[in-house]
Amino acid sequence: MIQESKGPKSLKTVERFFALIDSGTLFASEDYLFFKKLRLEVCSAISHLLFWGRPFLEVSRGLDWPCEGLRQRYDIFRKIAEEEDKSQLRQQALLFLSFLPFPNQWDWLFKVEKLYPDDGEVKSFLAEERKKGSDRLRKKGRKVYKVRHFCQVLKAPGGENEKGVLRIFSIPYLFHSLQPLRQLSRRYLLLVEPPWGVVCRHTWLRKFSVLEDPTVFGVNSTEDISFLRSQSHAVPYGLAHGDYLFESLEVKPTRIREFDIIFNATFDELKRKRHELMLELLNHPLLKDVRALFLGRGKKTKVEHFKKLVKRAGLQGRVTIMANLLRENVPAHLSRCKIGVHLSLNENGCRSIYEYFRSDLPCVASSAMAGTNLSIFNPQTGMAVTDQELPEAIAFALEHLDHFTPRRWFLENSGSSNSTRRLNQFLRQLFENLGYQWRTDIVPLMSSGPGRYANPADYNLFGEEFAWIHDCLTSANKLPIKVVLD
């Protein structure tokens, strides 16, 4: 199996940090440079462990270990940070609470911004935070985005004391420093679905936590839900993206399945999606005769690079590659396969997994995957296992296809109708708790498409709302990307 060499070193860094806290010697030092160096090392180590190093972390200490360790030691830092003096020790405690994924991290970071705006370490942290968002937006700078490409009105504002609901499902970092965010919040309750979940506890999402009402975050994993529950004014809800996949499926399974495995993931992110691990698995003795279909979008250069990797692995006779298919054509190709495999390091309500279930394909997935509700893998739908267990799990699934009923599970527990109904109930109760009226329900959602409406006519239903949102975003601001109404 492909290993992450930085994993053991990162683990030791965090272990050493916890040992310093537990021994009572962490704050014995008066050396500011010691604290600064330690914070940088621990920040980097935890970020690595919670992303690239997840497979190693899972089998060594467990995926919850870093954040659970911080939670257990939180009060030690909190008590020092809440002291009224302006000592160096208090400042160090505040910086630890602000830069690491502690409970209530976002509030501590807001406090540090106000207390130490000229501190070099604070300025560097915030500059790096802004750079990450700017870099992402710069990559999109040549595109033109319609408002409905990144947000969706689920419910228009009603009469007196009734807000609307606005779903932000893409490029949420566009709102990182925009004044209209507060204006939007006065008209709508916001439902934000970060595309990758709350990866390494994205601090730029804290901007959504200081609005008039709490922001609802659509996140799939217990890991993300646990972190968000520890932040003030953030309300996590366990559905996102793929949970709203449309139920209808016109393509019937073919009698002869040409491929054993379908691996559907973008070719533009081979490392995060772990295509090479899939190729390695195909050369395992248990899977030496398995045929695989690789689907995904991607630039031509990335697709060609993957073809070279397939050839280098000696798998060109057992691997078929199809790139940049239209989404409506994907089910026809799924019907040619027996099971799906998904190995991504990070997702948030992954559409591909739910597409497998809808097409009655069980799925074998890596249990190290962040941002995913692993409870969707069960005796009906497939298995989520460690990387070491993948060959046996894939071989078992292929040999026991009749054990699984993933489409039945999908129709009973997921899809647009079920998930919209659950979200509607959740939002209605939240409105009641906040003291708002609820006279109309939200419209049915979908997981993809430019409007993400199960009923395309609903986009026109909210025409005036989209025009208002466009004016709100563009009237007094120079946006880093071009946004048009239609």
Domain range for 208 is 142-231+439-484
| Residues 126 and 54 occupy one common structural domain | yes
**Residue 327 burial (C-beta neighbours within 10 Å; 0-12, 13-18, 19+):** exposed
Condensed to tens digits (0 to 9), the pLDDT of residues 376-434 reads: 999 999 999 999 999 999 999 999 999 999 999 999 999 999 999 999 999 999 999 99
Residue 292 sits in a domain whose CATH number is: 3.40.50.2000
Pick the closest to residue 204 from 259, 127, 308, 291 (CA basis): 127
Is residue 251's pLDDT more than 70? no
> Mean pLDDT throughout 219-230?
94
**23 vs 85, which has greater pLDDT?**
23
| Residues 43 and 76 occupy one common structural domain | yes
Mean residue pLDDT of the chain comes to 92
| Residues 307 and 215 occupy one common structural domain | no
Q: How far apart are CA 484 and CA 486, in angstroms?
A: 6
Of 93, 108, 136, the last residue of a domain is 136
| Residues 459 and 393 occupy one common structural domain | no
Q: What is the CA radius of gyration of the chain?
A: 24
Give me the number of domains the chain comprises.
Answer: 3
- CA-based diameter of the chain, in Å? 75
Q: How far apart are CA 29 and CA 96, in angstroms?
A: 15
Of 136, 164, 180, the last residue of a domain is 136
**Structure confidence at residue 75 (pLDDT):** 97
Q: Does residue 41 form part of some domain?
A: yes
Q: How far apart are CA 195 and CA 162, in angstroms?
A: 28
Is residue 277's pLDDT more than 80? yes
Q: How far apart are the first and last CA of the chain?
A: 48
Is residue 1's pLDDT more than 70? no
pTM as predicted: 0.93
- Quote the percentage of the chain above a pLDDT of 70: 97
**Structure confidence at residue 206 (pLDDT):** 92
Q: Does residue 430 form part of some domain?
A: no
Q: How far is CA 29 from CA 24, 89, 93, in A?
A: 11, 9, 12
| Residues 130 and 210 occupy one common structural domain | no
Query: Using the 8-state DSSP alphabet, how is residue 482 labeled?
Result: E
Comparing 56-70, 103-117, 165-179, the range with the smallest average pLDDT is 165-179
Angle between helices 351-358 and 406-413 (to 10 degrees): 110
